[in-house]
Copies of this chain bind each other. A is one copy, B any other.
């Protein structure tokens, strides 16, 4: 049994962590910390969790208080910029840290500054923190004290693409990605833009050419391809609370069978990936699941490969993946704590 802490436990990703970890059979003590809700009953702030959290209250997020808890592992569901400071301190105090923010997802401090608009607080850590999509990361990540959990868009894009690029089936040239996210991807926000009235009946593209997730997608694809990769990535908001789908178009001279063959080789033993044939992924089918559904289509007319993927942005795109990472590094069944 381990001592586990969640920092930023009151947001949407934090809530998913609360859900998975409060019923996780290996969690002994659980600390739920929140700077905005310190002292409040968890079930008042997160009523869906009331059956899981009993009379627990949010702890304050002061560093001393957090360190005193002596957690085996901390899950950080904090905004970028804020997470870095906590992560380094908590690691240095002896805890494992799984960071759901973007703060340690990049290797390059220059790229971080370009996309996030300010210098990184701990650039010396960047190269030492593994970026872990569990189905794709190299074995060695399990030793690291601080782990970067990828974002929702990247997870839906790297899972279909990376195995094909590593196998040399795709060169990394000419990739066009179109992604559609439910509104919870924008976080728990009091803003007109994310109000029910403004987002219902609304589909729109945003962040053209500049979305922050683009940086980690390209860095990871570059590693898979063994060279610089540039993609055209266009995210969209669609009117649903949870769920994210990506459609990827890329020139491809190979056969569809090669794609499925490679995917099957890599994902055969992975409960977090489901391969579909003759149908396309649907976000409804992964709702509440820590799983990506993938499919491939070869358009013989155009010579393009069309890859489609769907995930639950709050699970496989955030909190579920973080718990999966923690399960793996402890040698437990990957989906422990997840509802199926």
Taking beta carbons and an 8 Å cutoff, which residues of A are in contact with B? 12, 19, 22-23, 47-52, 174, 176, 178, 180, 182-184, 188-192, 194-206, 208-209, 230-232, 234, 236, 238-243, 245, 247, 249, 271, 274, 280-289, 291, 293, 297, 299, 301-302, 304, 306, 308, 310, 335, 339-340
Contacts and interface: CB of A to CB of B under 8 A. Distances in A.
B208 A299 contact: yes
A338 to B, nearest CB: 9
Contacts of A194: 195-197
A93 to B, nearest CB: 30
Contact of A310 (B184, B196, B204): B204
A203 B288 contact: no
14 contacts: A50-B274, A176-B304, A180-B236, A184-B197, A191-B195, A199-B284, A202-B283, A204-B245, A204-B281, A206-B280, A208-B297, A208-B299, A209-B299, A232-B249
B47 A202 contact: no
A287 B196 contact: no
Contacts of A288: 48, 288, 339
Q: Interface residues of A: mostly helix, strand, loop or mixed?
A: mixed
A245 B236 contact: yes
A48 B282 CA distance: 10
Nearest to A184: B197
A154 to B, nearest CB: 18
A205 B246 CA distance: 9
Contacts of A176: 176, 249, 304
Given A190-B195, A197-B194, A205 B245 contact: yes
Given A201-B240, A245-B204, A284-B198, A306 B180 contact: no
A314 to B, nearest CB: 10
Contact of A23 (B195, B242, B340): B340
Contacts of A284: 48, 198-202, 204
The 10 closest A-B pairs by CB, nearest first: A178-B178, A47-B285, A202-B284, A339-B339, A204-B282, A209-B299, A196-B199, A190-B192, A183-B196, A52-B340
A66 to B, nearest CB: 25
A143 to B, nearest CB: 29
A44 to B, nearest CB: 9
B280 A204 contact: yes
Contacts of A48: 284-289
A192 to B, nearest CB: 4
A189 B230 CA distance: 39
A216 to B, nearest CB: 16
